[in-house]
Amino acid sequence: MKIIKLICIMILAFNATADALIRNVPAQYSTIQSAILACNNGDTVLVQPGTYFENINFRTKRIVLTSRFFESNDYSYIQSTVINGSNPTQPDSASCVIISGQQDSTTVLQGFTLTGGKGTIWNDEHFAGFYREGGGLLVALSSPVIRYNIIRDNQCVTGGIANSTGGGGVRIGDGYVRFFNNIVMNNTSKYGAGVVLNYTGGEYRNNIIAKNYGSNQFGAGAGVWMNNTFTRPRVLENNTIVFNTSLSQTPGVYNSLGATTVRNNIVWGNTGGNGSQFSGPQMIITYCNVQGGFAGAGNMNSEPLFDSTNYYLQASSPCIDKGDSSTIYNDPADPLNPSQAKWPSRGTLRNDIGAYGGALSKVIANSVVSVNFQNELYLPDDIRLAQNFPNPFNPSTEIAYELKSPSVVKLVVYDRLGKEVAALVNRMQPAGSYSVKFEGTDLPTGSYFYRLNAGGQSLVRTMMLVK
């Protein structure tokens, strides 16, 4: 019954041809790439849960690549179906997924975790030279639909002939992409650590772009970096762009060039560099909650009041019912109470600012493993965990933390796959402030996370070792 249901969904949603096939991984094909190569346009590659150490290229195929998420909207499939790009056959082609074959909106990527990617050496289409871009996802000269993915812990580090690195999480260029209901987090590169939009239009709605870090070039844009549109419309709507950090320049959203509509977004807590939440020309910014304020109709400057997980809004959040009041931006209605919004939206039907407002409001994931989704302004009462410094680092860095009461403390460092690489503290400590040195001399370049457990509470942060 599930297969029949999936066939119906794909036919209705993606206009699949009558003879389209579903190609199952790993039952029929041992790898995702081998299934893609066997596809004809209109086919679907259905991937079972598991971790696939592959670097996927759609080639010229106009297909749907999906996990089992869309059979039943079971969000656990997003987290349990992983494309890990950390072991590429060719080190200069190390994105988790590449879509660059003139695909249109019949091409869909949905329901995966993309992690461990290191980007692809890419010859810029506009004669700017070679760059390593798209750690998790690289889209060029194509217009696919990208939705319901977690794109985390990817990196782009300069190497070989690359002039610089961009789009640690996502790089999209020269197309019109629909990028909906994704989480982009804990990625790093020298510009656009989270998302790079280069000479591209598109619709970027209901995404969480959080805790990407380390950008320091070309205006930075650690959250979102944009350049030109080639006259295509570009819309950023109902996104939550928060707690991204840069080493210099703009930590939030940077636009080098290109008219961009920015509506109903939370842009908050982006730090480092010049501390700007927005910078650059040609952005029309309205009905956004911007830390420090920003001129524009309906804009506000108020603590978002996030809930404890996944940046949901608390019931008392000032972002509820404060987006653009036009009914085309309304939240979905609760079927049992049509005058009220359906969870995860809150309040009435008027748009909620942020990733959980508007017509595409959906739960994106149950939770995200190995990542603390709490707002730094609402950390547990008894412990504090600072971002390591320096970050990125080579070969050592300092990790500081604070205890407000005596506790048994455990401070452990893990690699991106969750393997413990160092136990820095494991003992009873009195209240006070502490700093511990972490040495990465014997570890490879990559992203790591460190977890502090004390007094029954836990905090996690991510750091980057670059050699």
Which numeric CATH code is attached to 381-465? Answer: 2.60.40.2550
Q: Is residue 120 within 8 Å of 151, Cβ to Cβ? A: no
Tell whether the torsion through CA atoms of 40, 41, 44 and 45 is positive or negative: positive
Who's near 174: CB < 8 A, 6+ residues apart? 125, 140, 141, 198, 199, 200, 230
Pick from 79, 81, 204: which is nearest to 139 by CA? 204
Burial tier of 397 (Cβ tally within 10 Å: 0-12, 13-18, 19+): buried
pLDDT of residue 454: 83
Smallest Cα–Cα separation from 44: which of 107, 137, 111?
107
Question: What letter represents residue 206's amino acid?
Answer: N
Q: Six-digit token pair at 169?
A: 């999480």
Where in the chain are the domains?
A: 107-341, 381-465
CA–CA dist 286, 258 (Å, integer):
17
Tell me the residue type at 160: G
Dmax (CA) for the chain in angstroms is: 69
Cβ(285)–Cβ(262) under 8 Å?
A: yes
Percentage helix, strand, coil for the chain under 3-state DSSP, each rounded to 5 = 5, 40, 50
Pairing of strands 407-415, 446-454: antiparallel
CB distance 258 to 242 below 8 Å: no
pTM score:
0.78
What are the φ/ψ torsions at residue 231 (nearest 5 degrees)? Answer: 70, 0
User: What is the predicted pLDDT for the residue at 235?
Assistant: 98
pLDDT digit of tens for each residue in the chain (467 aa)? 444 444 444 444 444 445 789 999 999 999 999 999 999 999 999 999 999 999 999 999 999 999 999 888 888 899 899 999 999 999 999 999 999 999 999 999 999 999 999 999 989 889 899 999 999 999 999 999 999 999 999 999 887 899 999 999 999 999 999 999 999 999 999 999 999 999 999 999 999 999 999 999 999 999 999 999 988 999 999 999 999 999 899 999 999 999 999 999 999 989 889 999 999 999 999 999 999 999 999 999 999 988 877 888 989 999 999 999 999 999 999 999 999 999 999 999 999 999 999 999 998 876 553 334 333 333 345 678 888 888 888 999 999 998 888 888 999 998 766 678 999 999 999 989 999 999 999 999 887 878 888 876 667 777 878 87
CA 211 to chain centre: 9
Q: Return d(Cα 211, Cα 206) in angstroms, integer.
A: 17
How many other CB atoms are there within 10 angstroms of residue 378's CB atom? Answer: 13
| Half-sphere exposure (Cβ direction) of 309: Cα atoms closer than 13 Å | 9
Residues 6+ apart with CB under 8 A from 292: 277, 301
Nearest to 95 by CA among 104, 103, 84, 106: 84
What gap in Å lies between CA 118 and CA 113, rounded to an integer? 15
Burial degree of 187 (CB within 10 A; 0-12, 13-18, 19+):
buried
B/e letters for 252-281, b = 16+ CB within 10 Å, e = fewer, are bbbbbebbbebbbbbbbbbbbbeebbbbbe
Check residue 15 and give its pLDDT.
46
Amino acid at 412: V
Three-state DSSP at 141 gives: coil
Give every CB contact of residue 336 below 8 A, 6+ residues apart in sequence: none
- Before 390, cis peptide (omega within 30)? yes
101 phi and psi angles, rounded to 5 deg: -110, 40
Query: What is the model's pLDDT at position 386?
Result: 84
Coil vs helix vs strand at 417: coil
Strands, sheet with 271-272, edge to edge from the N-terminal-most edge strand = 213-215, 245-246, 271-272
C-alpha distance from residue 135 to each of 76, 126, 204, 337, 366 (Å): 23, 20, 19, 43, 24
